[in-house]
Each structure stands twice: as structure tokens, then as C-alpha cells.
Amino acid sequence: MDYMVVYSSITGNTKKIATEIFSALPGMSKDMQSMEEYRGKDADIFFIGFWVNRGTCDMSVIDMLSELRNKKIALFGTCGLGNEEAYFRAIEQKVNVWIPDDCEYLGTFLCQGKMPMQIRAKYEIPMEDPKQEIWRRKMLQNFDEGLFHPNETDLEHAREFVERVLKSI
Ligand SMILES: Cc1cc2nc3c(=O)[nH]c(=O)nc-3n(C[C@H](O)[C@H](O)[C@H](O)COP(=O)(O)O)c2cc1C
């Protein structure tokens, strides 16, 4: 097997990116599985997807990454906060530390993903402190922008990421 795409996704955003990455991979020697389905199917190159959980990936992704040996690994993920390159890079660094030393790290693609409506309620109540109120409004705006992600541009960027990764090896 040339490529395995394995993803962790609760509400479907990361699955959407996984599907795009899978379809952008060339040839027939490829497979895509969710983290729940994955039983150790081998490949030369892994694309591993995660949803951001409290600033990092969830445990299933950490477990999977830690067990890979001598593989080429690219990461991708979705998170609630968008348009923050510094935030994306901070997440990348928190997740790629789990890639073992004998594996080759090929980079990370991140984009915004919509969040469940219950989370919006947290940001709907005005705050007395002016600084917190500015933050609340920013979070509300971010939430509403997130409702449209992953969008077509995100999917295009995911395909471009695959092209860059493949050119680099
Ligand atoms: C429990 C929980 C924790 C989250 N933590 C973060 C976080 O720390 N940073 C962030 O940007 N988004 C966070 N999110 C938002 C998700 O990462 C985002 O909605 C993601 O696209 C979900 O991916 P999925 O649809 O593949 O499950 C969190 C969501 C949940 C439910």
C-alpha cells in the first residue's frame, strides 16, 4: 500500500478533509479509514487527521502516531479557531511531537471547522469587563465564520497540501 489516510472526526469536518486528501492521492494503492476502523493496515506514507481538542489532538491520534515505525507522515486537522496562522503553527507543534524519531515528518495542513451550536450559547451573553467583551464578540464572530468551514477553498488548500507533500518526497 502506498498511502493510508486515517482520521479522527467527531462531527465530520476532519472526515471531509480526509476524503478530499484521499481523492487527491494518485493511483489505486491507497485506503482511507476512520481511527475506529483502523486495525494497523500498513502503507509507506500516512496522512493522519485529527480534530483539535483543547489545543491538541485527541488520545487516539497520539496512540496511533506513537506506534508508527519508519513511515513518512503528514498531518491534517480542523479546529474551531480560524485565520490564525500562529495558532495553527502552535497546534502543529503540539501534535507533531508524537511522531517517532525514525519516521519522516512531511508537514501539517490545518483549517477551520464548524463547531456545535451549543458552543455558540457560551458566547452570547454580554460581559461587563470591556476586554472580555471584545474577546466575546471576537469569539462569536469566529464561531459564525466557522459555520461555513471546511469550505471549497479549504478543500482546494488540502489538495495543494497533498501536491506539496508528494513533491517533497
Ligand atoms: C471538546 C471540544 C474541544 C475543542 N477544543 C478546541 C480547541 O482547543 N481549539 C479549537 O480551535 N477548537 C476546538 N474545538 C473545535 C473542534 O476542533 C472543531 O469543531 C473541529 O473542526 C471538529 O472536527 P470534527 O468535525 O472532525 O470532529 C473543540 C471542540 C470540542 C467538542
pTM metric for this prediction: 0.97
Is the pLDDT at 49 greater than 90? The verdict is yes
- Ligand 1: which residue has its CA nearest to atom 14? 80
pLDDT tens digits, 125-169: 999 999 999 999 999 999 999 999 999 999 999 999 999 999 999
Nearest CA to ligand 1 atom 12: 80
Query: Which CATH class, in words, describes the domain spanning 3-113+150-168?
Result: alpha beta
- With a 6 A CB cut-off, is 55 part of the ligand 1 pocket? yes
Output the average pLDDT for the chain: 97
Q: Average pLDDT of 99-117?
A: 97
Q: What DSSP line would sit under the chain, residue for residue? A: --EEEEE--SSSHHHHHHHHHHHHS-SS-EEEEETTT-S----SEEEEEEE-BTTB--HHHHHHHHH--S-EEEEEEEES--S-HHHHHHHHHHHHTTS-TTSEEEEEEEEE----HHHHHHTSS--SSHHHHHHHHHHHHHHHHHTT-S-HHHHHHHHHHHHHHHHH-
Instruction: Give the Å distance between the CA of 53 and the centre of ligand 1.
Output: 5
Residue 37 has a pLDDT of: 97
Q: Where are the domains of the chain?
A: 3-113+150-168, 115-148
Say what the pLDDT of residue 42 is.
97
Is 83 touching ligand 1 by the criterion CB < 6 Å? no
